[in-house]
Amino acid sequence: MRHFTNIIIGFGKAGKTLAGTLVQHGQDVLVIEKDAMMYGGTCINVACLPTKNMIINSHNGEDYADAFAAKNKLTSMLRNKNYHKVADQETATVLNADAEFLDDHTLQVTDDSGTETLTADRIFINTGSTPILPNIAGLNDSQRVFTSKTLLDQSQQTKRLAILGSGPIGLEFASMYAQFGSDVTVIGQTPAILERYEPEIATAAKADLETDGVSFLLNAQLTKVADTATGLSLTVTTETGSQTIDADALLVATGRRANTDDLHLERTHIETGSRGEIAVNDTLETSVANVYALGDVAGSPQFTYVSLDDWRIMANQLFGDKTRTRTNRPIFANTIFLNPAISSVGQTEVQLKAAGTPYQVLKMATAGVPKAQVIGNPRGSYKALIDPETHQILGVTIYAEEAYETINVIAVAMQNHLPAEVLRDQIYTHPTMTEALNDLFNF
Ligand SMILES: Cc1cc2nc3c(=O)[nH]c(=O)nc-3n(C[C@H](O)[C@H](O)[C@H](O)COP(=O)(O)OP(=O)(O)OC[C@H]3O[C@@H](n4cnc5c(N)ncnc54)[C@H](O)[C@@H]3O)c2cc1C
Ligand SMILES: NC(=O)c1ccc[n+]([C@@H]2O[C@H](COP(=O)([O-])OP(=O)(O)OC[C@H]3O[C@@H](n4cnc5c(N)ncnc54)[C@H](O)[C@@H]3O)[C@@H](O)[C@H]2O)c1
């Protein structure tokens, strides 16, 4: 039985970054990753980076085959870099094996050469999340049903793509496939898309997706999936009755749950929460001392940058002043990469109204930003909500080119309690999308 100071299960964002920190502090660490095609984790191999690479290339007018090849080149380069960044460290070891718990502090790893038992002073679980596949007749039997991961593996472009779920994965794939020229139908169970965003901006984004070739069946239930000689037949029920739609493939994008499948937590005292996530305290420790969970598996908001923040908390707790916790994360934004992207931070008008918080609304059209015209995409608008007295920023939604960059400036301002005037009066480089803030906050 080998013993390590630290074992990290899963080569995800938090885990790989933590491995570097542990090495920096002179400690040994074993990183166990079950899939050699996943060194570096979900984001770089099968999620954020390949999808954004393909989305950008679809917007640039590349055809699917070229974008697919470019994506594979990118992920292979990143995987190799990520592997060596950890494996080449003197006190780090990477093991390609499936890890499971035998008891609270003992692991068993299995690979082609057999099994081995391992122990460690500290164990960090960073096994990410896995797609939720709803229980719909025929869905699990079809060869034409894909997850985001398996669809990204398709070298041939799907010409008629149905998508179940109108969350970020569903909408980003819808936008991307529409840009590549496919016919896309999104089947959503909610009455509207982008429900957590400002409704007028969500409505505009939906109209733009429709212009690009996406159809929506909302307030809808997919009740049956059947393979046909040439594709798929999907039975969808809406308020107006039941209909059948034909497609070449179905992408299931109905959410992701914590990936604890192989860990055999039932052999331990590690507790899970109501959504199957590993229950952790504010400093990411599980119900077993010296066993921690980070990232998606710990029920943290499912973003790479939040997994990275879990690393910050862990590093601060192990080697810093122990002030960082889950409850004092800095304010962070979110983005859905459509054409253009939609980003938001803070609260929406609906939320402020419900809380009885007074606010002033500021709005402007993207078309008024010179850089939007330079890029050639004037779609979209900006909406900010500020405190009428203090001018503190309460929430912002941006539907515009480079929204994902501009929104970070606003998050920094909010985190540091800068009033809107500071953003209004700042000198921004020109021509940039950030310049919009001079006008947006010109109240
Ligand atoms: C299609 C898609 C697009 C996304 N786009 C974005 C985006 O643009 N921006 C963003 O911030 N977030 C995005 N996300 C979310 C983001 O990818 C995740 O939140 C993030 O990758 C989670 O990282 P993690 O550190 O929790 O673990 P992961 O990176 O998921 O790593 C977990 C690792 O553990 C391994 N593993 C699992 N079980 C075991 C075991 N028993 N033994 C050994 N190894 C194991 C897995 O193989 C995997 O490599 C996207 C997700 C998807 C699916
Ligand atoms: N740009 C980004 O940051 C980005 C991009 C993609 C994914 N992600 C992360 O990955 C996570 C998972 O994404 P996701 O889109 O799969 O999940 P999600 O939970 O965010 O959205 C799932 C959607 O599917 C719908 N749905 C669920 N069951 C359904 C059913 N039976 N029929 C029809 N609709 C159904 C839900 O109403 C919801 O709208 C996200 O929450 C996000 O944190 C982030």
pLDDT band for 417, please (50, 70, 90 cuts).
very high
Q: Which residues pair with 365 in a beta bridge?
A: 381
- Amino acid symbol at 212: D
Instruction: Give, to the nearest 10 degrees, the angle between helix 13-24 and helix 64-87.
Output: 30
The mean per-residue pLDDT over the stretch 413-432 comes to: 98
How confident is the model at residue 101, as a pLDDT? 98
pLDDT band for 435, please (50, 70, 90 cuts).
very high
How confident is the model at residue 359, as a pLDDT? 98
Does the reported pTM lie above 0.90? Answer: yes
Domain boundaries, the chain: 2-131+256-319, 145-252, 334-440
State the CATH architecture for 2-131+256-319.
3-Layer(bba) Sandwich (3.50)
d(CA 127, CA 101): 13
Q: Both tokens of residue 250?
A: 């179905």
**What pLDDT digit, counting tens, does each position of 154-198 carry?**
999 999 999 999 999 999 999 999 999 999 999 999 999 999 999
Q: Where are the alpha helices (DSSP H) in 258-329?
A: 304-319
**What pLDDT digit, counting tens, does each position of 13-40 carry?**
999 999 999 999 999 999 999 999 999 9
Residues with CB under 6 A from ligand 1: 9-14, 32-35, 38, 41-43, 47-48, 51-52, 98-99, 126-128, 148, 169, 259, 262-263, 295-297, 302-305, 307
The mean per-residue pLDDT over the stretch 87-102 comes to: 97
CATH of domain 145-252: 3.50.50.60
ipTM entry: 0.99
Superfamily of domain 334-440: FAD/NAD-linked reductase, C-terminal dimerisation domain (3.30.390.30)
Q: Is 40 in the pocket of ligand 2 (CB under 6 A)?
A: no
Q: List all residues 6 or more positions away from 24 whose beta carbon is below 8 Å from its beta carbon.
A: none
The mean per-residue pLDDT over the stretch 409-432 comes to: 98
**CA dihedral sign of residues 337, 342, 345, 348:** negative
The mean per-residue pLDDT over the stretch 415-443 comes to: 98
The number of the ligand 2 atom at minimal distance from the alpha carbon of 334 is: 3
> Does 105 qualify as catalytic in the annotation?
no
